[in-house]
Structure 1
Amino acid sequence: MSDAVPSFSLRSGSKIPSVGLGLWKIDQDATAGVVRDAIKVGYRHLDAACDYGNEKQAGEGIASAIGDGLASRDDLWVTSKLWNTYHRPEHVRAACERSLRDLQLEHLDLYLMHFPISQAFVPFEKRYPPGWFFDPDAGEPGIKEDPVPIRETWQAMNELVDAGLVREIGVCNFGTSLLRDLMASSDTHPAVLQIELHPYLTQNKLIRFCNESQIHVTGFSPLGALSYFSLGMAEPAESVIEQPVVKEIAANHDRTPAQILLRWGVQRGTSVVPKTSRVERLRENLAIADIALTDDEMNAISTLDRHRRFNDPGDFAEAAFNTFYPIYE
């Protein structure tokens, strides 16, 4: 794997690049070009998921970049995620193989359980990606649960490693209690935990627990509210990049506020996966390795913490999917 972007070492010795491209909310029509552009400017970490609905287009971008010699497969770290409807062990491999086929890959570097939520299975031929509704055409559509013990899903994910389809497995949106229970039920501990992480939600205790447990942390939505404005899940006044302290630190380093926030995340020891469709932003988000924030600057940014979670099923599931579904409480 290329050393152009600094990486973090996992327990196994694998290296995950510190900055990746998050593919959530990138339009299908743009995804192939954005992925190719990202690889061209130096990205080696791509964060995909079945639920994002653009893995096929991401695969086209990856294939184009590799075909044109912009990178080799071994240069890339590609993550995908198991969706909630595929938690039954008999569906896990088929879900992974569908992602692999769409991404035009023989293996994934990392496969994550997207949520600690188990929904009723929706066949691939009926709807893919299946989304949150069990039946969108029902009179009162909602989320339909099909409870599956996490350890059963995890064991099936382990079998993907044994089969050579996946190199590392991990989880998203777990807290310390679920992590402890998962580690107590399996000899294979999560390599990575992906969580919402930004100065309004610093999650210090969870990160410390993961560090002590040799679980690497990746932060999604590292710029905070920006991805949630269009969804009605955040107000413009909640924008972290508009905070005076962030702007002041950015001016001191002659960098943008976004670069400072990404560097804050990486300097904490977490990888970050910001989303953008613009080439100039792709370059900007990647160019943070030479920023060195002082302890005072790191602390000043961290004091913005207000425990504000933007991506919370306990809020959005009821508003968007007619189902009250808290997982963090």
Structure 2
Amino acid sequence: MAATSPYLTLHNGVRMPALGLGVYQSSPEETVRAVSSAVAAGYRLVDTAAAYGNERQVGEGIRRSGVDRDEVFVTTKLWIGDYGQDAALRAFDLSLRKLGLDHVDLYLLHWPVPGDFDATVAAWRSVGKLLAEGRARAIGVCNHNPAHLRELIDRTGLVPAVNQVELHPHFNQRELRAANAAHGIITQSWSPLGGVKVYWPSDPDHIDSPLRTPAILDLAARHSRTPAQVILRWHLQHGLSPIPKSVRESRIAENAAIFDFSLTTDEMAAIDALDTGSRAGLDPELVDTAMFPQQVGE
């Protein structure tokens, strides 16, 4: 890395690296090398999930990196098939065994389940117990809109430290970011480069990637940077935590070389103006166990 990632302080005082490596859609075979390369290169946050099927490989990659475990911020997530009080605790234990760790730094609910929000609330209460026991240093959610956040907080008194959501220049989630900030919640960006628009295109014949947007290409040329570096810099300057996915060592290093330049106010505004207001990923209001009936096992 050209420089060390800045840290964001969560509302319970835990410090989280602003830039991390995501491993969604990284195959088990690719994950070990990607994680070990990233950590050895200076990354200090790795984001996985029970549903990704690569928690074991994330743990192995951290061990192979030669970096002390306490220096690496590890995030994993509870899958919706394991929502409910006791099921959540069992699933957490399984994730720890797969990772080969005695605690995680951040544990997230993977989705809200609006059709069975009682189960979401029960899972959140169990996640709160893990926080109280010190088995998770911080807890949070993914893909929760402002109404989900309000209900979760009102019913439990537990405020998430992080809300991880689809966020990129074509879907910048301005209102949700404001709602998160009002609760003291850090916004973390999945698909920060807009990759979701490539692997889940609304029109396969017209891939509308932020990386190909003329305004981004112009800024990249102006700063002698890649489009990805410009977009990741935009995330950081908004106080966001981007977690780009890659399994290529050169791309992993490239994504981290973003701490020795900055975008001007006008340049930030130009990227903000690319927002379409349309998500490319799943609508959180529609996610339920009928859509995803699979269970996460050994």
Q: TM-score, normalised by structure 1?
A: 0.82
CA–CA distance in structure 2, aligned partners of residues 317 and 191 of structure 1: 22
Query: Once the two structures are superposed, what CA deviation does each residue of 1:17-45 show, in whole Å capped at 9, x if it has no partner?
Result: 11100010011111111110010111100
Question: Aligned pair 1:201/2:197, yes or no?
Answer: no
| Mapped contact 1:87–1:148 kept (Cα < 8 A) | no
> What corresponds to 2:81 in structure 1?
85
The answer to whether 1:249 aligns with 2:219 is: yes
Is contact 2:216-2:271 (8 Å) kept?
Answer: yes
1:62 maps to 62
Deviation at 1:322, TM superposition (A): 8.2
Q: What is the SS of the residue equivalent to 2:118?
A: coil
Which 10-residue stretch deviates more, 146-155 or 294-303?
A: 146-155
| Residues 1:99 and 2:99 are matched in the alignment | no
5 Å-filtered alignment, 1:290-329, equals: 290-313=260-283, 323=291
Q: Is the 8 A contact 1:32 1:61 kept in 2?
A: yes
Kindly provide the CA deviation profile for residues 56-84 of structure 1, in whole angstroms up to 9, marking residues without a partner as x. Answer: 1111111222xx3xx21121110000000
Residue 317 of structure 1: CA displacement?
Answer: 7.1
For 1:82-117, what per-residue CA distance to the aligned partner results, in whole angstroms no more than 9, with x for missing partners?
A: 000111101111111111111111100000000012
- CA offset at residue 161 of structure 1? 1.3
169 and 314 in structure 1: CA distance in 2 versus 1, 3 angstrom threshold: closer
Q: Is the 8 A contact 1:46 1:77 kept in 2?
A: yes
Residue number among 170, 184, 188 corresponding to 1:218 in the alignment: 188
Q: Which residue of 1 aligns with 2:296?
A: none
Give the aligned partner of residue 121 of structure 2. Answer: 151
Q: Secondary structure at the match of 1:281?
A: helix
8 A contact 2:196–2:281 mirrored in 1: no
The secondary structure found in structure 2 opposite 1:148 is helix
Find the partner of 1:74 among 52, 70, 74: 70
Distance 1:90 1:315, change over 3 A: closer
Q: Decide whether the 8 Å contact of 2:78 with 2:110 is kept in 1.
A: yes
Letter in 2 for 1:253: H
CA RMSD of aligned residues (A): 2.2
Q: Residue 15 of structure 1: CA displacement?
A: 1.1
Q: Does 1:28 align with 2:24?
A: no
Contact 2:142/2:165 (<8 A) preserved: yes
Letter of the 1:10 partner, please give it: L
Residue identity matched to 1:267: Q
Post-superposition offset of 1:171: 0.5
Moved more, 228-237 or 32-41: 228-237
1:270 to 226, 231, 240: 240
Q: Which amino acid aligns with 2:58?
A: A
Of all paired residues, the percent bearing the same amino acid is 37
Q: Is the 8 A contact 2:49 2:76 kept in 1?
A: yes
2:198 alignment counterpart: 229
Q: Supply the distance in 1 between the matched residues of 2:196 and 2:170 (Cα, whole angstroms).
A: 14
Unmatched 5+ residue regions in structure 2?
Answer: 293-298
Give the corresponding residue for 1:49. Answer: 49
* 1:122-148, Cα deviation, whole Å (9 max, x unpaired): xxxxxxxxxxxxxxxxxxxxxxx8663
Task: Give the letter aligned to residue 7 of structure 2.
Answer: S
Q: Distance in 2 between matches of 1:62 and 1:297?
A: 36
Separation in structure 1 between the aligned mates of residue 257 and residue 141 of structure 2, nearest angstrom: 28
Distance 2:286 2:249 in 1: 31
> Whose relative contact order is higher, 1 or 2, with alpha carbons under 8 Å and at least 6 apart?
2
The Cα shift of 1:186 comes to 2.4
Instruction: Quote how far apart the aligned CAs of 1:162 are.
Output: 2.1
Q: Judging changes above 3 Å, is the alpha-carbon distance between structure 1 residues 163 and 317 closer, same or farther for their aligned structure 2 residues?
A: closer
* CA shift for structure 1 position 323: 4.7
Contact 2:160 2:185 in 1 (8 A): yes
Name the structure 2 match of 1:112: 108
Cα shift readout 1:208-230 (whole Å, capped 9, x = no counterpart): 12112110110000011x34534
Q: Say which one has the larger Rg.
A: 1
Aligned residues: 289
Which amino acid in structure 2 is aligned with residue 208 of structure 1?
A
Query: Can you give the 5+ residue segments of structure 1 that lack an aligned partner in the other structure?
Result: 119-144, 325-329
The equivalent residue for 1:191 is 161
In the TM superposition, residue 237 of structure 1 has moved relative to its aligned partner by: 3.0
C-alpha distance 294-312 of structure 1, shift in aligned 2 (>3 A): same
Are residues 316 and 101 of structure 1, via their aligned partners in 2, closer, same or farther at CA, if it must alter by over 3 Å? same
Distance 1:10 1:234, change over 3 A: farther
Q: Secondary structure at the match of 1:209?
A: helix
